[in-house]
Amino acid sequence: MAVDDGSCAYFISGNITSIENYTPARWQFGLDMIYRCLKSGLILVHDLVGYRDEVAFIRALQTLSPFGDEGGVLWNGSLIYGSNVLAEVVEKHFPPSLPYSPAVNSAFGEELDTIFQRHGVPWSETPLLPILPK
């Protein structure tokens, strides 16, 4: 996300071993991460896919499942990208001069935690914005 744009579906895909694919828990995780990153200024929305503003866009993410036909355009057609803040944080913890390492970078995670707390969207086991399936 720091060097390329993507869709909201980016936040629900990938290797998240603690959350089973295609479940409400995965949807909730994606929604909360998108919200955290937006409120923290780490990502920006380039294409609201027809929604009038960011509030309506987020509300749609809450109500339209990414795993069904009704939310497909929203979750896959949206266009989000990393801000300069995100690029700086990523480069600080993953300098391009160093070789790739699959190891967890705890300093990166700690900095994200700090950023989230500073913007009032701390990491929590409780949903920030509960999903509201139709």
| pLDDT confidence of residue 107 | 96
Mind giving me the DSSP string for 102-120? -S--HHHHHHHHHHHHHTT
C-beta of residue 81 within 8 angstroms of C-beta of residue 4: yes
Q: Per-residue confidence at 70, pLDDT binned at 50, 70, 90?
A: confident
pTM for the structure as a whole: 0.92
The two three-digit tokens of residue 2, written as one number: 């720091």
| pLDDT confidence of residue 63 | 96
Considering only CA atoms, which of 13, 14, 4 is closest in space to residue 87?
4
The two three-digit tokens of residue 32, written as one number: 């909360």
| pLDDT confidence of residue 102 | 84
Q: What is the pLDDT of residues 37-66, one digit of tens each?
A: 999 999 999 888 889 999 999 999 999 999
Longest C-alpha distance within the chain, in Å?
Answer: 47
Q: Per-residue confidence at 1, pLDDT binned at 50, 70, 90?
A: confident
Instruction: Give the dihedral sign, CA 68/57/41/124.
Output: negative
